[in-house]
Amino acid sequence: MAKLPDLISDELIIRAKKLTSTLVADALGGKTTMSETLKPVSDRMKIVATALPVEVARGDNLFLHHAIYSASKGYVIVCDGKSYTGNAYFGELMARS
């Protein structure tokens, strides 16, 4: 099993919460941005956490299951589903896990 990335510090989280996502994306050269078509469920929602990136094969969520059970508080799982929309990778049962 691969080692999880180190959690970012509480101090950095506090500082990052003061920034907009566009400032962060620009500072990182746009290498960490997602499609502009993705929208939050609510405009009031914000998250600052250590990303646990997961790359899955089209239509296969096995590695996503592994990430869910490997991660702990302080991580946010970011899944690259290769733009496949034939089925959901993540649903209610996985969210409860």
pLDDT at 89: 83
33 touches 80 (CB < 8 A) = no
Phi, psi for 89 (deg, rounded to 5) = -90, -25
33 touches 46 (CB < 8 A) = no
DSSP state for residue 86 in the 8-state scheme: S
Flag residues of the chain having pLDDT under 70: 1, 30-36
